[in-house]
Chains A and B, each alone.
Chain A
């Protein structure tokens, strides 16, 4: 970090430019605090000393607010409250904290008596209130939206929770839409997300443990599981993997995902990512563990094996025929999305005897005058498609639609008419793109999009043989993967019948009496016997 030193030198050295310039920045680079340092620093009984310490640490921040006042009418005690502007509910601060403190002289006059009352839990009407004695505990509290009350002669700080920052209201799911099912989705606030889950599972067995991850960001990460269903080993493993993360900042759950994966180099996602509370609850009931990250509207669920990534929550809300059909369709679409362009390249270039004559003549006619070989055409179109998709995401939403229409329709049409690509290739690429969108987990979709390219290259080099070799390599890789100890391809291989009922197909709810074997070891029965609906006995 040489450049940082240089910058520091320029700004702080007496000969540097910063000193000579008018209107130079008044704040100097002060001391950089570490957590250990803060922990060591205890609060003193002198109010002024405490104020000085805090002001030294936070005083230069423009959103840092300090309010000094006197407690009591006779023998008033000097007191002060601190908070960070914008992090607290001002209304609550005025009504629940400031008003009782300032109007307290009406009931008791002495400052020390009021302090005693305060200590015993009186005076302040806010519910969440506790005391801390070191700056190590105090500073994070004030920075995360608590009000700190310091009183002269009292060597502890009173922390009053008064959080009230701006947050989104609960939105509809954006990525994981559903026709049938609840319409709420997670937001950036951890506590709200937890409440969405807890509202669906009002049981003492729902365990929410929170740990802080990130040296600088101290992001709250909640591990949620259902006691008695989730295996203890799994919960322990999740806890340990999260605890081992040592990183400055966690911006999003994606950071966590990368740190807790079994095979970090695998292109396949090993974690379920969802924005739907009902998905989380369903997975918890199966014995999985959910990980919520503060400031992330997405929850992670582990283990995430392959079949679970092809399932949508909505599947469970319909009668089993339809989900079975849709799941098979999705599996087919997954294959199509993976291999269709490479199959097209391989067959048209190497195995023309496999195509029905009429279709072959059609392909030959469509390709008349196209200057590029088929594989190059496929690569070109796929890259163009990916570019369009990326542009569609990045563009501001008012422009995005126009661009996607221009890109998809006009450029495609023009490219065909200009004989740069054949119309059939456009169909192949477009269908491949659409097939990708049937995969409910977008991180699996990304994998498919990426793997398509090496497949196309092997197809161009070796034909169907190349495609088969690549597919075999992918299959071998999938067989060797594990997600939190669960084989990635289970319950297909290793096969187990109970699990299979909820994998590629979906058996009726009443026939899936047992919880997945690979997740739950004990307490496997999830419903009573004979749940299959029967017509009432006619003899009665």
Chain B
């Protein structure tokens, strides 16, 4: 009986323990600040500025979906903090935020252009080392004031980081900028075969009026800021050295084999035509001809005619012309990217990796050391095969009569 009583008591004590323990890594959802976006800038005297964007969960039943919001209520909050280093700044956030910040849902990591030009190794180690940061987050370079970008949202008052993540999710539809995930970016930084690149982010004054501000009677209501992801920042080692514009960015995407959708606006002799890309494949082949390294690029692209201006008649001959112009346009895009990268002398195109793969011995022996001299003068031969698969539902455009 005594033993039984003791056992019972032990059982009771165990049950009580459940209520007493803190469970060291247990975390109630409502007491956690979910960081959706992080912005990093260089402050005064070499300090690091961290802006953490958390969502404010909207109570259910008030209207609007959970991630969106209701009129007049903030759905996100930007926490601003300064520290000597990245981690220091992040930890200083706890002086301000009542909730413990949780970084695993971070979608966007924005670095100011100023910091990127100085070199961003100072702010990369922490995000690589800390287990809460997800490598699948996107890294972006702020082309404008970071604080304003982190504040710019007019889309249902969604958190800007969420808006940016959603914009990047449909990047294939336009294929006009090349963006890297945090994981890829870190890998590019650590590799001598490819230099880092990622997309830029900026804001502009949208058409919609700002909702929450009160304008004076004879004053126009201010326009809300809207976000835009554009261009591609190109790095040399950890320093931003230049930008690729839309055309050059597309060239970079061609070389990476990442153009899966998007449009090609074709300038035909006397009209314009739009070719919608359905599929493409890219093959890089370095060859050594007469002691000279030549990069051969073979691109196959297929798609549909998406738009055509009146006055044209689609026939076999015209189709061949179109395919030739497609090839020409793509070639131009690729060469512009190559030219820009060579100007900046930074191998964001990943040519070094291909050469290494094809000629491992040669690369070890000499090419690796000489690459910074070889790359700017590397001859690139582009061979594009364009194919029009169809013309959509109609062949000829409507003729006004």
Taking Cβ atoms with an 8 Å cutoff, the residues of A that contact B are 348-350, 352-353, 357-370, 373-376, 423, 457, 460-461, 463
Hey, which chain A residues are within 8 Å of B58, CB to CB? 365
Which of A349, A365, A460, A461 has most B Cβ within 10 Å? A365
Cβ of B315 under 8 Å from chain A: no
The CA-CA distance from A457 to B55 in the complex, in Å, is: 30
Q: How far is the CB of B18 from chain A (nearest CB, A)?
A: 5
**A456: shortest Cβ distance to chain B, in Å?**
9
* Residues of B close to A366: CB separation below 8 A: 59-60
Closest 5 CB pairs of A and B: A365-B57, A353-B104, A362-B66, A367-B30, A364-B57
Asked, given contacts A348-B29, A349-B23, whether A361 binds B104 with beta carbons under 8 Å apart, the answer is no
Which residue on chain B has the smallest CB distance to residue A356? B105
- Return A481 CB to nearest CB of chain B, in Å: 24
Q: A358-B67, A361-B66 are in contact. Are A368 and B26 (CB under 8 A)?
A: no
- Point out the residue from B18, B25, B32, B66 that lies within 8 Å of A460, measured CB to CB: B18
For the complex formed, measure the closest distance between the CB of B70 and the CB atoms of chain A, giving whole angstroms. Answer: 11
Closest A residue to B57 by CB, please name it: A365
12 contacts between A and B (CB under 8 A): A352-B27, A353-B104, A357-B67, A358-B66, A364-B32, A365-B57, A365-B59, A368-B59, A369-B59, A423-B60, A457-B15, A457-B18
Q: How far is the CA of A350 from the CA of B27 in the complex (A)?
A: 6
Measured between alpha carbons, how far is A364 from B105 in the docked complex, in Å?
13
B66 touches A352 (CB 8 A): no
B233-278 at interface with A (beta carbon < 8 Å): none
CB distance from B7 to the nearest CB of A (A): 15
Give the chain B neighbours of A361 by CB distance below 8 A. Answer: 34, 55, 57, 66-67
Interface residue from A352, A358, A368, A375 paired with B104 (Cβ < 8 Å): A352
Residues of chain A lying within 8 A (CB to CB) of residue B316? none
Asked if A349 and B57 make an inter-chain contact with CB atoms under 8 angstroms apart, the answer reads no
B94 to chain A, nearest CB (A): 18
B19, A376: Cβ atoms under 8 Å?
Answer: yes
Closest A residue, CB atoms, query B27:
A349
Chain A residues, Cβ within 8 Å of B59: 365-366, 368-369
Given A364-B32, A368-B59; A350-B66 close (CB under 8 Å) = no
Q: Of residues A363, A364, A375, A461, which shows the largest number of chain B Cβ atoms within 10 Å of its Cβ?
A: A364
A-chain residues with CB within 8 Å of residue B134 when the two chains form the complex: 353
Q: Nearest Cβ in chain A — how far from B274, in angstroms?
A: 35
Flag if A360 contacts B23 (CB, 8 Å).
Answer: no
Q: Is the CB of B29 within 8 A of A364?
A: yes
Chain B, range 12-32, C-beta contacts under 8 Å to A:
15, 18-19, 21, 23, 25-30, 32
Q: Are B57 and A368 in contact (CB under 8 A)?
A: yes
B residues in contact with A359, CB < 8 Å? 66
A350 to B26, CA, bound (A): 5
A360 contacts B27, C-beta separation under 8 Å = no
Knowing A360-B105, A361-B67, the reply to whether A460 touches B23 (Cβ < 8 A) is: yes
How many residues in B have their beta carbons less than 8 Å from beta carbons of A? 29
Q: Give A376 Cβ to nearest chain B Cβ, in Å.
A: 7
Q: Which residue of A lies closest to B26 (CB)?
A: A349
Contact of B29 among A352, A457, A460 (CB under 8 A): A352
Chain B residues positioned under 8 Å from A376 (CB to CB): 19
The distance from the CB of A534 to the nearest CB of chain B, in whole angstroms, is 46
Excluding A350-B27, A361-B34, A368-B59, 6 further A-B contacts by CB distance (< 8 Å) are: A352-B105, A358-B67, A368-B30, A374-B28, A423-B60, A460-B26
Q: Which residue of B lies closest to A358 (CB)?
A: B67
Asked if B157 CB lies within 8 Å of chain A CBs, one says no
Report if B38 contacts A (CB, 8 A).
no
Residue of B nearest to A379 (CB): B18
Interface SS of B by simple majority: loop
Nearest Cβ on chain A to B163's Cβ, whole angstroms: 13
- Residues on the B chain within 8 Å of A460, using CB: 18, 23, 26
User: Restricting to B45-60, which residues have a CB under 8 Å from any CB of A?
Assistant: 55, 57-60
| A357 touching B36, Cβ below 8 Å | yes
Check A362–B60 contact: CB distance below 8 A: yes
Point out the residues of chain B lying under 8 angstroms from A374, CB to CB. 28-29
A203 to B92, CA, bound (A): 85
**Is the CB–CB distance between B28 and A367 below 8 Å?**
yes
Q: Does B79 contact A (CB under 8 A)?
A: no
Among A358, A360, A369, A463, the residue within 8 A (CB) of B26 is A463
Q: How far is the CB of B164 from chain A (nearest CB, A)?
A: 13
Chain A residues near B18 (CB, 8 Å)? 375, 457, 460-461
Q: Are B21 and A363 in contact (CB under 8 A)?
A: no
Complex Cα gap A352–B28 (Å): 9
Residues of chain A with a CB closer than 8 A to B65's CB: 358
Task: Check B21–A367 contact: CB distance below 8 A.
Answer: no
Contact between A349 and B60 (Cβ–Cβ < 8 Å)?
A: no
Which B residues are CB-close (under 8 A) to A358? 65-67
Does B363 count as interface, using CB distance less than 8 angstroms?
Answer: no
CB distance from A452 to the nearest CB of B (A): 15
Q: In the complex, what distance in Å separates the CA atom of A263 from the CA atom of B130?
A: 49
Whether the pair A365, B107 counts as a contact (CB closer than 8 A) is no
- A contact residues around B27 at 8 Å (CB): 349-350, 352
Chain A residues contacting B26 (CB-CB under 8 Å) are 349-350, 373, 460, 463
Contacts of A375 in B (CB 8 A): 18
List the B side residues contacting A463 at CB < 8 Å. Answer: 25-26
Contacts of A423 in B (CB 8 A): 60
Q: Does B102 contact A (CB under 8 A)?
A: yes
Residue in A350, A357, A367, A457 whose CB lies within 8 Å of B107: A357
B107 engages A360 (CB within 8 Å): no
Q: What's the minimum C-beta distance from A472 to chain B, rounded to whole angstroms? A: 20
A357-B105, A357-B107, A360-B105 given; A365·B23 CB < 8 A: no
Are the C-beta atoms of A365 and B66 separated by less than 8 Å?
yes
In this complex, which of B55, B107, B132 has the most chain A Cβ atoms within 10 angstroms of its Cβ?
B55
User: For A368, what are the chain B residues with a Cβ–Cβ distance below 8 Å?
Assistant: 30, 57, 59
- Asked whether, in the complex, the Cβ of B23 is within 8 Å of the Cβ of A461, the reply is yes
Bound form: Cα–Cα A353–B15 in Å: 29
Nearest residue in A to B165 (C-beta to C-beta)?
A: A357
Q: When the two chains form their complex, are residues B28 and A373 in contact, meaning their CB atoms are under 8 A apart?
A: yes
* B18 to chain A: closest residue by CB: A457
Q: In the complex the two chains form, is A352's CB within 8 Å of B60's CB?
A: no
Q: How far is the CB of B32 from chain A (nearest CB, A)?
A: 7
Task: Please give the distance in Å from B98's CB to the nearest CB on chain A.
Answer: 13
Q: How far is the CA of A283 from the CA of B175 in the complex (A)?
A: 64
Cβ–Cβ contact A363 & B29, under 8 A? yes
Q: How far is the CB of B352 from the nearest CB of chain A, in Å? A: 35
Q: Name the B residues within 8 Å of A367 (CB-CB).
A: 28-30
A357 to B104, CA, bound (A): 9
Closest A residue, CB atoms, query B75: A361
Cβ distance A465 to chain B, nearest Cβ, rounded Å: 11
Chain A residues within 8 Å of B55, by CB: 361
Residues in B with CB closer than 8 Å to A350 are 23, 25-27
- Closest CB of chain B to A171's CB: distance in Å? 43
- Which B residues touch A461, using CB under 8 A? 18, 21, 23
* Residue numbers in B under 8 Å from A349 (CB-CB): 23, 26-29
A360 to B105, CA, bound (A): 9
- Shortest distance from the beta carbon of A379 to any chain B beta carbon, whole Å: 9
Distance (Å) between the CB of A448 and the closest chain B CB?
21
A375 to B18, CA, bound (A): 10
Bound: A352/B57 CA distance, A: 15
* Interface set, chain B 125-147, CB cutoff 8 A to A: 132, 134
Verify B60–A357 contact, CB threshold 8 A: no
A352 and B23 contact, CB distance less than 8 A? no
Cα separation A355 to B81 with both chains bound (whole Å) = 28
A370 surroundings in chain B (CB, below 8 A): 30
Q: What residues on A are CB-neighbors of B132 within 8 Å?
A: 353
Query: Which residues of chain A have C-beta atoms less than 8 A from B29's C-beta?
Result: 348-349, 352, 360, 363-364, 367, 374
Q: Which of B15, B21, B102, B107 contacts A352 (CB under 8 A)?
A: B102
Complex Cα gap A366–B162 (Å)? 20
